[in-house]
Amino acid sequence: MSAKKNLKIALVGNPNSGKTTLFNLLTGLNQRTGNFPGVTVDKKSGTMKLPNGKQAELIDLPGTYSIYPKTLDEQIVQEVLLDKDHDQHPDTIIVVADASNLKRNLLLFTQIRDLNIPMVLVLNMMDVADRRQLNIDLRGLSIDLGVKIIPTNSHSGAGVEALKNILSQPLIHSKKPFYQVKSLAEKTIEDIKTEFNLDEDYRAYQYAQQNVRLKFLEETERQKIEEIKKENGFYDVPTQSQETLGRYALISDIVDRNIKNSSESGKPTLSQRIDRVTTHKVFGYLIFISLLMLIFQAIFAWAEGPMDIIEGALASFSNWVKGALPEGVINDLITDGIIAGLAGVLVFIPQIAILFGFISLLEESGYMSRAVFLMDRVMRNFGLNGKSVVPLVSGMACAIPAIMATRNIDSWKDRLITIFVTPFMSCSARLPVYTLLIALVVPDHYVLGIFNLKGLVLAALYLLGFFAAILSAWAMKFILKTKTRGYFIMELPGYKIPQWKNVGLTIFEKSKTFVVEAGKVIIAISILLWVLASYGFSDKFNNAGTYVKEQLPPNTTDAEYDIAINAYKLEHSIIGSFGKFIEPAIEPLGYDWKIGIALITSFAAREVFVGTMSTIYSIGADEEDELTIREKLSKEINPKTGLPMYTMAVGFSLMVFYAFAMQCMSTVAVVYRETKGWKWPIIQVVYMTAVAYLSALVTYQIFT
């Protein structure tokens, strides 16, 4: 930390006021996403250089319509502004308001202004205001509101330089509150001001209104406020009601005085005409489903090329390291533990980038809120919310970006349910497992002459995942209790042309967050799995060479010998012992210890199942193709029955297990990151494994 502290500036404003675009303009790539301690709210901050040469730290506070929070995100705004000792408490505030919709935007402005923090008001989206033929008297408005005003157009960047100039000068603002809150509760305000040594009436009044919510107050302080309120007959909601009415009365006067509307009203705007199509009962759903299909296809298909490149590059890197470093434990740890883990992290970047590219486009354009509007009624039946649709469908490609996409669900309960059920959707990593098993046990048979039975089974597995997600969501609706009441009061912003810079920054930010935060967990698990698979305590593991030599016929080649040793070592490693240890538990599902080992290793990722099976069945790395594994598996004999091991019952049981089980460390890591703790990922793993186990058990019993 430098001795001289940087100027701290906070951006505050309504959602859809162009606040984030302005933030991007001011900071460019000098921004980072962290989180506020103890809560699941992203903290976007960045640095900017002011014209006077000084550095300023800019923080983009979550969008809110008022200082009274409805969601966790909004509560942060209130905490940061009310708590003078908060480490993010700003020295200066930029309030961003949508100039084309000033009345509603000014409510938040007047509340913040009465906290007496130096501030400047930015009237953004001046272009939209011009198009609506609103003539704004900026001078008059500035005098009436008692604040400096900078008009901007964050689309073109106009006004941004002027804003920077203003910020490098000391801001003078009127000390006189905009709204005399004292008339509502004089005694309460006075008492709290004395008790907490506060200067501003409105700050004291907010202590009274929000005492239960303000985390920075001690329990005794909250109690004290409660007593003061009781003594003076202060009731939260009716007083807030009066305050809002009072503020709007003043705002209305000022807006009417300074803004003249010269357009003839009554003609539907372009946005309204677009809405007639996008929320139409036929075209609306058609457009929405087509967009979802496009996104799904893109994550599924477009990501494949870049993913192959990343995997290939890391594989060559791993080989190079293997050759460059002396053989031994360190070499194996780096290549099979760390680089393998790194590959498991980086390989998801294309999918994350594509999904967030689309989501950002949908949000920027204003379409997202229409999709939510269309889907809310349907999703509500299952304890979900209109905003859950995009994550759920994206989950069919990959749960990682999908879970990250739940960020824009305001209601914590709805968001948690969405995070919880998304991994049930059949993701692309299940496909290699499904195709191997389907090829193994499902006969080539046509149903009704046109439907291939193999295809039908695959479709059934996708449906199974979908229904598991929906039913779990429905059940959670009743189990989860929340203190906060959920609202669906949502602005439908006017349509806008998306800005590529914002889309690009979103993609960059989301990918970076995933790599940095989920990456740590993924690499740690990868190293753990490597240790478990590379070490063993028994004599058989340590002297694998001698044992294998005894078993093999004398004419085996070196390559065959190496493969056999790998299989033998895996069998007698710690993971191998685990596999044998859990055999009694998985026997009712039709599995043996070999499958047990694959179940454990494939916790890294589902597709690892295929790789592990080929190691166990001693299939060389070069021939690790599906056909060889399939041949080996189909020849496997169950020692107890003397019949083939991989019957239809075992195959189906395994498929069902993989349809439901979590079996993906990256998802666990991302749930940890998104819920800020281990509670939910652990519950989720236990629940999904239990569902998988029971369903596989039932499946096996039915088919045998």
Footprint on this chain of other proteins (rule: CB under 8 A): 65-66, 68, 70, 100-101, 103-104, 107, 237-238, 240-241, 244-245, 248, 271-272, 275, 279-281, 284-285, 369, 373-374, 376-378, 485, 487-494
Short-list 436, 438, 406, 432, CA closest to 421: 406
Least spacing, CB of residue 75 vs other proteins, in Å: 14
Q: Least distance (Å) from other proteins to the CB of residue 233?
A: 17
Give the closest residue to 346 by CA, choosing from 504, 505, 526: 526
Hey, what are 248's tokens? 């709007």
User: Residue 139 or residue 273: which is nearer to other proteins going by CB?
Assistant: 273
CB of 402 to other proteins, least distance (A): 24
Q: What is the DSSP letter of 556?
A: -
Please, what is the minimum distance in Å from the beta carbon of residue 248 to other proteins? 6
Distance CA 83, CA 8 (A): 14
Q: Measured from the CB atom, is 302 or 488 closer to other proteins?
A: 488
Q: Name which of 491, 364, 457, 499 is nearest 656 in CA terms.
A: 457
Amino acid at 160: V
Q: Are 74 and 195 in contact (CB under 8 A)?
A: no
Decide: 363 and 408 in contact? Cβ < 8 Å: yes
Tally Cβ neighbours within 10 Å of residue 304. Answer: 13
Q: Which is nearer to other proteins, 371 or 398 (CB)?
A: 371
Closest separation in Å from C-beta 209 to other proteins:
10
In the complex with other proteins, the residue whose CB is nearer, 40 or 279, is: 279
SS3 60: strand
Residue 103 or 131 having the CB closest to other proteins: 103
Place of tokens 């046109």: 450
456: how many CB neighbours lie within 10 A of its CB? Answer: 16
Rounded to whole angstroms, the Cα distance separating 146 from 134 reads 21
Question: With 0-12 CB in 10 A as exposed, 13-18 as middle and 19+ as buried, what is 38?
Answer: exposed
394, 405 Cβ separation under 8 angstroms: yes
Q: What is the smallest separation between the CB atom of 387 and other proteins, expressed in angstroms? A: 12
CA 150 to chain centre: 34
The closest alpha carbon to 422, from 436, 435, 405, 444, belongs to 405
Report, in Å, the least distance between residue 107 CB and other proteins: 6
In angstroms, give the least distance from the CB of 212 to other proteins. 14
CB of 512 to other proteins, least distance (A): 33
- Distance, CA of 97 to CA of 134 (rounded, Å): 15
CB of 249 to other proteins, least distance (A): 9
Q: CB within 8 A of 632, min separation 6: which ones?
A: 614, 617, 619
Least spacing, CB of residue 350 vs other proteins, in Å: 34
Q: Which is nearer to other proteins, 13 or 681 (CB)?
A: 13
Both structure tokens of 84: 């003078």
> Which candidate, 473, 478, 380, 465, places its Cα nearest to that of 423?
465
Q: What DSSP element (H or E) covers 379?
A: helix 367-380
Shortest distance, CB of residue 410 to other proteins, whole angstroms?
A: 12
CB 545 within 8 A of CB 552: no
Cβ closest to other proteins, residue 370 vs residue 454: 370
Judged by CB, which is closer to other proteins: 277, or 621?
Answer: 277
Give the contacts of 134 (CB within 8 A, at least 6 positions apart).
99, 100, 259, 260, 261, 262, 263
Q: Least distance in Å: CB of 614 to other proteins?
A: 50
> Least Å distance between CB 168 and other proteins?
34
What one-character-per-residue DSSP string does 90-138 give? -SEEEEEEEGGGHHHHHHHHHHHHTT---EEEEEE-HHHHHHTTEEE-H
Structure-token match 């070196």, residue found: 558
Min dist CB 280 to other proteins, Å, is: 8
- The separation between the first and the last C-alpha atoms of the chain, rounded to the nearest angstrom, is 68
Task: Report whether 607 contacts 417 (CB < 8 A).
Answer: no
Q: Which is nearer to other proteins, 39 or 490 (CB)?
A: 490
For other proteins, give the closer residue by CB, 4 or 281.
281
- Of the pair 290, 452, the CB lying nearest other proteins is at 290
Q: Output Rg (C-alpha) for the chain, integer angstroms.
A: 30
Angle ∠(170,176,180) on CA atoms, nearest 5:
145
CB of 389 to other proteins, least distance (A): 13
Q: Do residues 616 and 570 make contact, with C-beta atoms less than 8 angstroms apart? A: yes
Nearer Cβ to other proteins, position 277 or 559? 277
- Residue 27 or 101: the one with the smaller Cβ distance to other proteins is 101
- 3-class DSSP assignment, residue 377: helix
Of 68 and 348, CB closest to other proteins: 68
268 versus 677: smaller Cβ distance to other proteins: 268
Nearest alpha-carbon partner for 632 in 600, 594, 596, 599: 594
Say how far apart CA 58 and CA 666 lie, in whole Å: 32
Cβ nearer to other proteins, comparing 378 with 682: 378
CB of 59 to other proteins, least distance (A): 23
Do residues 351 and 303 lie in contact, with contact meaning Cβ atoms separated by under 8 Å? Answer: yes
Choose between 104 and 173: whose C-beta lies nearer to other proteins.
104
